[in-house]
Amino acid sequence: MVERLSEEERESIKKNWSSIKSCGNETKEIKIDDWTFGAFKMDTNIRLSFNKKGNKKKSIIISENAKLIKFKYQKENKLIEKEELIYQPSSIIHFVKFYQMEHPIYKIQKDKEILDISITEENVKDILNNPNITEIIDDRFLE
């Protein structure tokens, strides 16, 4: 899903996410700059339609648990941090591949210990649903 969006579309949705997610159970139309967003909550998802003035309208489904996550990785010996809005669990896998992360992990505290957990297709739903997980790190640059 996220792979169907342009960078400009992703940035606009991310920038306006707090307004979009407050739609409640009613259809809500938001006009910001040249963008029009239409949001409607359905069960545990939000149906979002959007378009930039003069362009064709697009529609996507976003989890109500969607959140911003920082992706930290190294490129050409520089640490890079990119913040992305994660729409669905599959968005995590998309961005891990998009940023060419070799060994993506997230950190979680269990009792008094902080654990590094590798990201797999089996645990991405847990990442999305846990509000305490806010960053994904390519640990190859931590060595």
Model confidence at 6, pLDDT cuts 50, 70, 90, reads confident
CA-CA distance, 37 to 133, in Å (whole number)? 27
Q: What are the C-alpha distances in Å from 77 to residues 74, 80, 89, 136?
A: 6, 9, 29, 18
Give per-residue pLDDT as tens, 40-93.
888 889 999 999 988 899 999 999 899 999 999 998 889 999 999 999 999 999
Query: DSSP code of 56?
Result: -
pTM for the model: 0.85
Model confidence at 137, pLDDT cuts 50, 70, 90, reads very high
pLDDT of residue 1: 61
Domains of the chain and any CATH numbers: 2-63 (no CATH), 67-142 (3.10.20)
